[in-house]
Structure 1
């Protein structure tokens, strides 16, 4: 097992051990233990940087399910290394921040267990080469993020946000799974590397476009693209460390990773370009536009995250043009869009993680995140103000911060892409830089809101729950570490470009042999007459003007119909599905046993009877009367008499007696046909059933004649006769069916295969044992549930607080 496999498994191992270790370690040390795990993983990954930058890839394969082509294959290259470093590096800073942020009165082992579970799932996503394994980790990120978002489960909003994120991301994951299966059908392999190597053979397949759309649905839902972004703002009900981790550096970047990884497969398709670029640009605009109207700092950052994810996604879409154009010196310029996407992905993780932690500090120290209550905090919290200033201005794209560099590259990419005359860009390509510029203006406005409305202006002490004061040093270490990267990357960007970004570009464009040309030299200054610089200058001018006039034009948000929003559509859809399911359930869950039998028998008739009608499976062979024995005929007559007698019985004791006669007659038939084990089972069941009936007899009400409409009686008679006839037909058909070999053929070699001379014993020992084992597991899980409920009751827990 290689180190990269250990990197995936280590978080899961410690996630399982955390609740156990929690009993032996003080609460104040459990966070430090988890921090050491994440930081050691980060250090392990940094040792791979020289090897990966030299063009080496690290792969490991364990054959898991060879018959289905599912192998546990890890693949560490430039692209997966970037994401792995972000997952473990930012994860370490978030854990350090959480040690000082979360109260020791909380169930911290739950929090760190969920966090490690999520970290392992994300590492599994970015390091997996097998599509099915990737999908398994993908859905595990949804489950673990659900647990993290609902960590404060006593809050109704936290539970609702967790449910919404789970529904949307899991639904997208299922569509992605369908796309993966289509890829497998086209390529006959689940390996991403093999699919990329055989991409020319699948591009003309009829399933190519459906697979493309389904996979993008999964990526868009996970990365909060329009119209699926609505789960991310509601997920802000999670603790701030969770928001800083999941929604700035990890979970929301999973869709970005998937699009980047599969660009070599789908990048040459026009639909891929327009969906990724178009949805990304509109998400960029819509997120920034809605961020301006937010009055909660965390909600503002949530919409800003949506916007920034749209920016990265659009850059990947524009960069996919290079796959269509092929490897040539003329198309290298279009690969720079993908370069800018990966560059901004790293930059976004630094400044957005710092900003989330800044908001957490304000909420933790002041008791509110409401912008309307804040103001003038610069003099009380100068260190926190520094974080907000650098993080916000980097997000706004101002120098000397790393966001300026990637934002300039974004503007340059939008200007270059409109010059192409492919994919109908010659007619509508001019809209791309326009939308990008307008969205950037709103981005600049909400960045000014973060700084201006929070730290400048008049202090409103009477509206604050606590007196303003600076955060403890422990809560400042993590955001300041990220701020150092925000500034450091601006001054030394090419160090990052050579060792980190260049190998990632080789992963996105594996068919382009010269990776050095794919990595442009990053400049902070392109000349006063560069178009992208003029775009930035106009963004600043118009942004300042709109900020100063914010009160005059902000009322336009109230003019938008709230009942037509995507959130309303989602909530109404959930309400309708719940009411519809209740109505449907109420139709068949009537509490009447007769109704249940009607549904069961009708289903049996439709499936089995319908199959008989559609096929020629039925065959008739007259029974040889000479082979019938007298006692067999007598048993049949007794069974018929008892069955008919039950229908006309007027007392419950008579019904029980006739039912027992019928059951014992069946047991005698098993004896006649030399099936003693079945006979013994039947006798035991009938005896126990009869005894139980008699024990309960005195507690049962008297039989009353049920008054039913005539059509119901006729319906029941028809169903009864139809089911009886169908079962009889199945029996006759089975006697003479010769299209398939009998099932006993598979057990002829029972002695050689299982060591048993008796076929029945072999079946019970080898096959029934598996069923019994699973039943024991189910009972064990149920037992754990009962034990947990008893423990909760004993501790006085289990309350349902809203």
Structure 2
């Protein structure tokens, strides 16, 4: 039974390999999506059997070796937190695949590419939420970025799709690299790569000087992936992807990865004021930023994108507030703050249901009318009654109205905000008054954009002349997935404690181990006439008034200068970086081999020479230096003369001969130093290379006299003398400072170990066999490339003739 966890991770990758073959075998008779739907449905059914086990406080653990020498294993770990994410990934994934079967045309789309990317992403998400090893988690984390890039750029022929994919990848990969640094610091502090072991060493981590840097780097990864301010700008542009991708990536899975990361490491970093303020503060700012910008959108998917940003900010702020539970320990105050963690997980589930449904309905509107522009829509209520009903359910749930699940989690959000004011911690007594106000303002704007989504789209006058198609209701197959999610929206409202007992309580125990027995949790819609209810009534009343007078105050958006927007800043920084790199590249990419060698050797002189200069205790002359005999001095003088002959010769033939002479003189040194194998190898190499040089250079034109010949030779002389001096000093320093035992004794056993009488050959063929093989492979690839280019050029010439 435990083995099934690893099976769930790798099943999507197996099907990703099989999908192109299934597509080629059955298309166009059978839609490829029917085969792909087996994967998320199978994982969902398998995860369902773990619910009783996890709800009883147990966990499932499975590990297989990956890199044993480094202690890195592929470890699958299932607890209350990963169970929620696993069910969302698989459950919503199945509905999205089912939806895509009717949305994506099997005649016009490259479905094999679409579903391969989808399966890669699905497998990466399973690996991310089930991994206990932080390095394996990071591998899957970056795989989600790569696969999402491919999904967003699925319609790559569109400029906006390529732009959105590039933006999402640049921002999320930046965060991923920062997160990797934080994870490495975390492993250094705890001396472990496993999250379970890191949690057991929290007291060591919190006392380390790397605690704060690791926290900030980890949060950078989480904030970029979950579109938190100011990194949220990638999400609206990612809406250029097909709607099934938007419904999957940007409502239930990828954007929740950062939420998962923060929840998973709350037990490590929570309880500190820095974590509390950064997570809750960024979450609240994102909540307001997303809700205010959503109201100004004219594209339905853009509106949902900003609403997603806003809702993710709400969940993030709850995680930040709930982390204060660790500050209080296991007391009554801790239990009160822990309710914010429960509220965050509850809203995460609710958001996946109503937002997934809304994305699919918006896709239906686009599919059946040919537009998502709110200004062109209207009067669709009678033409698309089922879609209208589903939109009401999803929008009113997002607005926090009963009888929908969003009302329950939104009330819990208000409760958590008020709790932070009534029982202040980490300076909340000073700033606590602003937190409920910010939350309330964001809720008002949330109510407004939900009303825009419903009434601007489905009520008013129908404008058939402005849309590309004759509006009609979607086929039943396209309506079933959002309808299932809408049913869950209502069902959770009436039976919230089923979710609480089976999912929220185990998730709390996974996030905050101090509540290993859970908390007394009873979710209900009516709590009397309390402050939270009055805040909700105020949201509805004030939001309704602002919606009625929408045209009068939305003109304020036009006064905000576009040069101050985050998108403008991103575009300008991208253009500036490209321009700067272009200018710098043109400075050193001159096309001349001499310039490149000057840069390489100059850098070598500065770095190695500077290290020798700044290092203490380095000596260059020691007692173990051997004497120099007369014939060695003669050979050295001959080598110097040969070297100058190469530099000063006016004929390539003379330079090649002098270079060959230099090589033969080196081989004589090997003979003197009793290294006949090296001498023989050197003679063979010099003979072959000299012959090849002569054959090649014979066909080249004569040397031209350089205009600035004196400066050219002066630069060469400086570089040459500098390299020679640094290498000589380095060799002398190394000879006087032996930090390790010599490896020459090992290579002297070449005959015993490899059956080779020639040490050099043994090193190249046996001891460095893979290195040599890969070098030969590179040369073969380069040769094939040259051959292909020649063949293509000849074929093009033949066609012209």
In the alignment, is the contact (CA less than 8 A) between 1:383 and 1:470 conserved in 2?
Answer: yes
**1:18 alignment counterpart:** 19
**1:89 counterpart = 2:124:** no
Separation in structure 2 between the aligned mates of residue 682 and residue 17 of structure 1, nearest angstrom: 52
* Deviation of 1:296 (Å): 0.4
- Superposition pairs of residues 392-791 of structure 1, within 5 angstroms: 392-517=395-520, 520-527=521-528, 529-615=529-615, 616-619=618-621, 624=627, 629=631, 635-671=635-671, 673=673, 675=675, 677-697=677-697, 699-708=699-708, 711=711, 713-733=713-733, 737-747=737-747, 760=760, 762-775=762-775
**1:7 alignment counterpart:** 8
* Deviation of 1:522 (Å): 0.9
In the alignment, is the contact (CA less than 8 A) between 1:220 and 1:228 conserved in 2?
Answer: yes
Write out per-residue CA displacement over residues 533-560 of structure 1, whole angstroms, 9 at most, x where no aligned residue: 1111111111111111111000111111
* Deviation of 1:501 (Å): 1.4
Does the residue aligned with 2:231 lie in a helix, a strand or coil?
coil
Write out per-residue CA displacement over residues 664-700 of structure 1, whole angstroms, 9 at most, x where no aligned residue: 3334544555545544544444444444444444542
* Deviation of 1:766 (Å): 4.2
**1:167 alignment counterpart:** 170
Separation in structure 1 between the aligned mates of residue 434 and residue 573 of structure 2, nearest angstrom: 33
**1:287 alignment counterpart:** 290
In the alignment, is the contact (CA less than 8 A) between 2:447 and 2:543 conserved in 1?
Answer: yes
In the alignment, is the contact (CA less than 8 A) between 1:619 and 1:732 conserved in 2?
Answer: yes
1:581 to 1:453, Cα distance in 2 relative to 1, 3 A: same
In the alignment, is the contact (CA less than 8 A) between 1:412 and 1:532 conserved in 2?
Answer: yes
**Which 10-residue stretch deviates more, 616-625 or 261-270?**
616-625
* Deviation of 1:729 (Å): 3.4
In the alignment, is the contact (CA less than 8 A) between 1:365 and 1:471 conserved in 2?
Answer: yes
Match among 110, 113, 122 for residue 110 of structure 1:
113
Separation in structure 1 between the aligned mates of residue 379 and residue 11 of structure 2, nearest angstrom: 45
* Deviation of 1:499 (Å): 1.1
In the alignment, is the contact (CA less than 8 A) between 1:670 and 1:678 conserved in 2?
Answer: yes
**2:798 alignment counterpart:** none
**1:344 counterpart = 2:347:** yes
Separation in structure 2 between the aligned mates of residue 780 and residue 687 of structure 1, nearest angstrom: 23
* Deviation of 1:29 (Å): 3.6
Does the residue aligned with 1:457 lie in a helix, a strand or coil?
coil
- Superposition pairs of residues 175-214 of structure 1, within 5 angstroms: 175-214=178-217
In the alignment, is the contact (CA less than 8 A) between 2:678 and 2:760 conserved in 1?
Answer: no
1:766 to 1:89, Cα distance in 2 relative to 1, 3 A: farther
* Deviation of 1:576 (Å): 1.4
| Coordinate RMSD, CA, aligned | 2.7
Separation in structure 1 between the aligned mates of residue 400 and residue 534 of structure 2, nearest angstrom: 13
* Deviation of 1:781 (Å): 8.4
In the alignment, is the contact (CA less than 8 A) between 2:74 and 2:133 conserved in 1?
Answer: yes
1:198 to 1:337, Cα distance in 2 relative to 1, 3 A: same
Separation in structure 1 between the aligned mates of residue 736 and residue 334 of structure 2, nearest angstrom: 70
**1:229 counterpart = 2:229:** no
- Superposition pairs of residues 68-87 of structure 1, within 5 angstroms: 68-87=70-89
1:449 to 1:225, Cα distance in 2 relative to 1, 3 A: same
1:85 to 1:690, Cα distance in 2 relative to 1, 3 A: same
In the alignment, is the contact (CA less than 8 A) between 2:148 and 2:249 conserved in 1?
Answer: yes
**2:44 alignment counterpart:** 42
**1:364 alignment counterpart:** 367
Separation in structure 2 between the aligned mates of residue 603 and residue 697 of structure 1, nearest angstrom: 30
Separation in structure 1 between the aligned mates of residue 103 and residue 283 of structure 2, nearest angstrom: 34
In the alignment, is the contact (CA less than 8 A) between 2:508 and 2:515 conserved in 1?
Answer: no
Does the residue aligned with 2:424 lie in a helix, a strand or coil?
coil
* Deviation of 1:780 (Å): 8.8
Separation in structure 1 between the aligned mates of residue 404 and residue 465 of structure 2, nearest angstrom: 36
* Deviation of 1:417 (Å): 1.3
Separation in structure 1 between the aligned mates of residue 274 and residue 105 of structure 2, nearest angstrom: 49
Match among 52, 55, 69 for residue 53 of structure 1:
55
**1:335 alignment counterpart:** 338
* Deviation of 1:12 (Å): 1.3
Separation in structure 2 between the aligned mates of residue 783 and residue 345 of structure 1, nearest angstrom: 55
In the alignment, is the contact (CA less than 8 A) between 1:175 and 1:214 conserved in 2?
Answer: yes
- Superposition pairs of residues 262-341 of structure 1, within 5 angstroms: 262-341=265-344
Does the residue aligned with 1:55 lie in a helix, a strand or coil?
coil
**1:244 counterpart = 2:247:** yes
**2:796 alignment counterpart:** none
Separation in structure 2 between the aligned mates of residue 435 and residue 560 of structure 1, nearest angstrom: 20
In the alignment, is the contact (CA less than 8 A) between 1:98 and 1:241 conserved in 2?
Answer: yes
In the alignment, is the contact (CA less than 8 A) between 1:344 and 1:403 conserved in 2?
Answer: yes
**1:64 counterpart = 2:66:** yes
Task: Name stretches of at least 5 consecutive residues in structure 1 with no aligned partner.
Answer: 794-802
Separation in structure 2 between the aligned mates of residue 736 and residue 513 of structure 1, nearest angstrom: 60
1:777 to 1:80, Cα distance in 2 relative to 1, 3 A: farther
Write out per-residue CA displacement over residues 479-519 of structure 1, whole angstroms, 9 at most, x where no aligned residue: 111111111111111111111111111111212233142xx
* Deviation of 1:775 (Å): 4.4
Write out per-residue CA displacement over residues 778-802 of structure 1, whole angstroms, 9 at most, x where no aligned residue: 6798899999999x99xxxxxxxxx
1:657 to 1:299, Cα distance in 2 relative to 1, 3 A: same
**1:128 alignment counterpart:** 131
1:449 to 1:585, Cα distance in 2 relative to 1, 3 A: same
1:86 to 1:205, Cα distance in 2 relative to 1, 3 A: same
Separation in structure 2 between the aligned mates of residue 734 and residue 513 of structure 1, nearest angstrom: 58
* Deviation of 1:425 (Å): 1.1
* Deviation of 1:265 (Å): 1.3
Write out per-residue CA displacement over residues 152-198 of structure 1, whole angstroms, 9 at most, x where no aligned residue: 11111111111111111111111111111221222112221222222
Separation in structure 2 between the aligned mates of residue 285 and residue 755 of structure 1, nearest angstrom: 74
Does the residue aligned with 2:66 lie in a helix, a strand or coil?
strand
Does the residue aligned with 1:655 lie in a helix, a strand or coil?
helix
* Deviation of 1:732 (Å): 4.4
In the alignment, is the contact (CA less than 8 A) between 2:380 and 2:462 conserved in 1?
Answer: yes
* Deviation of 1:768 (Å): 1.6
In the alignment, is the contact (CA less than 8 A) between 1:612 and 1:618 conserved in 2?
Answer: no
Separation in structure 1 between the aligned mates of residue 92 and residue 300 of structure 2, nearest angstrom: 21
1:201 to 1:651, Cα distance in 2 relative to 1, 3 A: closer
**TM-score of the superposed pair, with normalisation by structure 1:** 0.93
1:772 to 1:285, Cα distance in 2 relative to 1, 3 A: same
In the alignment, is the contact (CA less than 8 A) between 1:295 and 1:370 conserved in 2?
Answer: yes
**1:796 alignment counterpart:** none
1:758 to 1:714, Cα distance in 2 relative to 1, 3 A: closer
Task: Name stretches of at least 5 consecutive residues in structure 2 with no aligned partner.
Answer: 794-801
* Deviation of 1:740 (Å): 3.5
1:637 to 1:508, Cα distance in 2 relative to 1, 3 A: closer
Write out per-residue CA displacement over residues 188-211 of structure 1, whole angstroms, 9 at most, x where no aligned residue: 122212222221232222111221
Write out per-residue CA displacement over residues 291-320 of structure 1, whole angstroms, 9 at most, x where no aligned residue: 000000000000000000000011111111
In the alignment, is the contact (CA less than 8 A) between 2:172 and 2:224 conserved in 1?
Answer: yes
In the alignment, is the contact (CA less than 8 A) between 1:244 and 1:353 conserved in 2?
Answer: yes
